Structures are given as structure tokens and as C-alpha cells.
């Protein structure tokens, strides 16, 4: 049986001058009567509902670049596949990377080949030949070879500084006369120098056929030794070899003639 207080509150507040039913007085009376009020359940308070709402909102606000990552392009897949093959080949060919490698006993010989393609011996030897040469045409050729070697150092250093690719994990930093940019791997400076010098000698020196074959073999062995020693990845050497040929074409375009530097040839 309802309480008389509640009954009177219902009768007094059931209608108002505007003709609308009032519920607030009922709620107030029940509260004052110390009757517990059961909280109204809202579906939005459910943890499952909040999780679904959050996920739906995040899907609606997903940035465009994240959507693109879910659907990689053909170019991205091709580059990742090429990188995986590159690392696999580098590890397989790096048979002289450590003393305990399968061809570790050949490491000293490979390091001699490495020195034969280093920039410092080539620059020092070219300057000495330029000083000792008494031929007008010979000085022109040697001067342009020196220009090519210096250009190679500059261009390779710039590309290495921009790309900043780390050397392979199996590499040991025991190279001869390294510089700050030599901690980076791409491209191979030995490969660029070997390709450029070999093409320069084949085009500007009169060599017998066996010597020409030895020059080409030297360029190939120097480039291959970079991967066998674990110094570079395969793509570093391939790009370096191509870059060396392009550098030679640039040297031919910028060829220094005796008319360009007449005072040098009057020494």
C-alpha cells in the first residue's frame, strides 16, 4: 500500500498549470523517503559498446597514409624483395668477411686487392707520374686521370653522405686509410674507381691485348672483393660500377686540354 505522503505528492504534482505531467516531484519524494533509486542502464556505458564506438571512430579518422600502408604498392613490394635478395646474396658471397669464414685464409690476398683499388695510392702515383712525365700528350692524359680520381672521391663522398647506408653486419672496420664517410656503404668507392680507371686506361693508353684483359679482370676482381670481404652489399658494388662508367663519361665531357692550363704544361 503506497505511503500517504507519496499519494499526496502524486495528486499535487500530477498536473501543472501547463497541463504537463511532472516526474521530478515523485523522484524527489522517493529520495526523501530513503527509497533507493535503481540507476538507469544506458547501452553506451557498456564496455563492449565503448570499444566498438572507439574502433569505429578510429576507423573513420584513419589517416590516408596509414590506409596506404595496408595496401602496399607494387613498387614497395619489389623494393623489399630486392633488398631481401641483396642481403641474402651479400651473406652468401661474403666468404672472406672473417678469419673463421669458409674462405678466411684468402682474406690477406683480398686485402691486397683492396689496397690496389684504394684512392690514395692511385692519387699519389698519378701525381708522381705527372711530375716525371716529359711528354706533352702524356701530361695531358695523366692530368685528366688525376682530375678523374679527385672527382670520384668527391662524388662518392657526397652520395654516401646523402644515402648513409650502413655496412653489412659481417664487416670488420680494418680497412686501409678510411675517412669519416667510409663508415657508410652505398656506393662502393672501390667499384666506382675500378670501373672508371679501367675504362680510362682502355681508351687513352696503348695496351696490348693481354694487358687489356688484365685491366678488365682487375676491375672485376676489385669489385667482387668488396662483397667477399663483407665491406659492401651487392647493390652497393653494382651501383658503384655503373656510377664509375658514368663518371668517366663526365670526365670525357670536361676534358682538360693544354690550352685550359697552359702554365702547368710549361713546367
**Catalytic residues, which ones?**
190, 232
Pull the grid cell for residue 78.
619489389
Measuring CA to CA, how many Å separate 180 from each of 147, 184, 265?
Answer: 22, 9, 35
Pull the grid cell for residue 48.
563492449
C-alpha gyration radius of the chain? 39
Q: How far apart are CA 103 and CA 47, in angstroms?
A: 63
Q: How far apart are CA 74 and CA 77, in angstroms?
A: 5
Q: How far apart are CA 196 and CA 203, in angstroms?
A: 11
SS3 of 102, please? coil
Pull the grid cell for residue 131.
711530375
The overall longest dimension of the chain from CA atoms, in Å, is: 130
SS3 of 184, please? strand
Q: Which residues contact 230 (CB under 8 A, 6 or more apart)?
A: 90, 94, 96, 97, 98, 167, 168, 170, 171, 172
Contact 151, 250 (CB under 8 A): yes
Amino acid at each position: 500500500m503506497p505511503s500517504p505522503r507519496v499519494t499526496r505528492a502524486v495528486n499535487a504534482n500530477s498536473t501543472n498549470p501547463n497541463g504537463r505531467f511532472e516526474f521530478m516531484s515523485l523522484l524527489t519524494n522517493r529520495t526523501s523517503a530513503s527509497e533507493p533509486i535503481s540507476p538507469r542502464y544506458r547501452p553506451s556505458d557498456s564496455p563492449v559498446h565503448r570499444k566498438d564506438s572507439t574502433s569505429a571512430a578510429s576507423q573513420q579518422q584513419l589517416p590516408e597514409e596509414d590506409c596506404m600502408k595496408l595496401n602496399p604498392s607494387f613498387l614497395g613490394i619489389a623494393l623489399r624483395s630486392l633488398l631481401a635478395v641483396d642481403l641474402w646474396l651479400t651473406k652468401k658471397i661474403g666468404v672472406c668477411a672473417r678469419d673463421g669464414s669458409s674462405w678466411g685464409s684468402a682474406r690477406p690476398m683480398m686485402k691486397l686487392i683492396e689496397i690496389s683499388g684504394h684512392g690514395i695510392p692511385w692519387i699519389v702515383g698519378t701525381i708522381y707520374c705527372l711530375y716525371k712525365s716529359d711528354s706533352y700528350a702524356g701530361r695531358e692524359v695523366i692530368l685528366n686521370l688525376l682530375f678523374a680520381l679527385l672527382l670520384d672521391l668527391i662524388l662518392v663522398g657526397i652520395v654516401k653522405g646523402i644515402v648513409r647506408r650502413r655496412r653489412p653486419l659481417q664487416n670488420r672496420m680494418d680497412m686501409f686509410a678510411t675517412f669519416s664517410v667510409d663508415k657508410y656503404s652505398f656506393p662502393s668507392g672501390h667499384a666506382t674507381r675500378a670501373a672508371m680507371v679501367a675504362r680510362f686506361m682502355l681508351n687513352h693508353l696503348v695496351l696490348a691485348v693481354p694487358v687489356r684483359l688484365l685491366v678488365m679482370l682487375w676491375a672485376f676482381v676489385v669489385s667482387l672483393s668488396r662483397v667477399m670481404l663483407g665491406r659492401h652489399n651487392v647493390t652497393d658494388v653494382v651501383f658503384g660500377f655503373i656510377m664509375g662508367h658514368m663518371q668517366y663519361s663526365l670526365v670525357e665531357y670536361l676534358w682538360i686540354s693544354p690550352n685550359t692550363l697552359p702554365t702547368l704544361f710549361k713546367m
